[in-house]
Amino acid sequence: MSFAPGQPPTRVILEQPGGWSRWSGRLAWIVAGLALLVAVVSAGANAEYFQTNPKVIEQYHSLAETATDKVAIVDISGPIMGGEGFVRHQIDQIEDDPAVRAIVLRIDSPGGTVSGSDELHYRIGKLARERDLPVVVSMGGIAASGGYYLAMTSGGQDETIFAEPSTITGSIGVIIPHFDLSQFLKRFDITDDSFTSGPLKEMLSLTKDRSPELAEREREVIQGLVDAMFTRFKSIVKEGRPNIDDETLTKVTTGQVFTAHQAVEFGLVDKIGFLEDAVDRAVALAGLSATTARVVRYQQPQGLLDELVGGRATARTAGSLQTLVEWTTPRAWYLCTWWPAVAASHH
- Residue 186 designated active-site: no
Q: Which stretch of 36-40, 62-66, 180-184, 203-207 has the lowest confidence by average pLDDT? A: 36-40
Q: Give pLDDT tens digits for 234-293.
A: 999 999 999 999 999 999 999 999 999 999 999 999 999 999 999 999 999 999 999 999
Q: Name, in order, each residue with C-beta under 8 angstroms of 270's C-beta and a sequence gap of 6 or more.
A: 158, 159, 160, 161, 162, 264
In this predicted model, what pLDDT tens digit does every residue of 292-307 receive, in sequence order?
999 999 998 876 544 4
In this prediction, residue 180 has a pLDDT band, given cuts at 50, 70 and 90, of: confident
Q: Amino acid identity, residue 241?
A: R
Please, which pLDDT band fits residue 90 given cuts at 50, 70 and 90?
very high
On whether the pTM is more than 0.85, the answer is no
Query: To 5 degrees, how large is the angle CA 308–CA 313–CA 319?
Result: 135
Residue among 24, 166, 186, 201 flagged as catalytic? 201
- Confidence (pLDDT) at 6: 59
Are 113 and 334 in contact, with CB atoms under 8 Å apart? yes
Indicate if the pLDDT at residue 18 is higher than 90: no
Q: Which domains does the chain have, with CATH numbers?
A: 51-176+226-309+333-338 (3.90.226.10)
Q: What phi and psi, each to the nearest 5 degrees, are found at residue 169?
A: -140, -175
Please provide the DSSP assignment of 166-213 as one string: T-EEE----B------HHHHHTTT-------SSTTTTTT-SS----HH
Specify whether the CB–CB gap between 74 and 103 falls below 8 A: yes
Q: Confidence band (pLDDT; 50, 70, 90) for 347? A: very low
Question: Which neighbouring-strand residues pair with 106?
Answer: 75, 138
- Position 27 confidence tier, pLDDT thresholds 50, 70, 90: low
Tens of pLDDT, residues 182-212: 888 888 888 888 888 998 888 888 888 889 9
pLDDT band at residue 346 using 50, 70 and 90 as cut-offs = very low
Q: Is 205 a catalytic residue?
A: no
Give the Cα separation of 145 and 174 in Å (integer). Answer: 8
- Average the pLDDT over 148-153 and give the result: 97
- Return the closest-CA partner of residue 263 out of 275, 276, 253: 253
pLDDT of residue 251: 96
The burial of 279, by beta-carbon neighbours within 10 Å (0-12 exposed, 13-18 middle, 19 or more buried), is given as: buried
What average pLDDT does the structure give for the chain? 83
pLDDT of 220 strictly over 90: yes
pLDDT at 85 over 90: no
Dist. CA 89–CA 44, nearest whole Å:
26
Name the active-site residue from 138, 145, 171, 205: 145
Least confident residue range of 2-16, 122-136, 171-185:
2-16
- From 36-50, 151-165, 269-283, 310-324, the region with the lowest mean pLDDT: 310-324
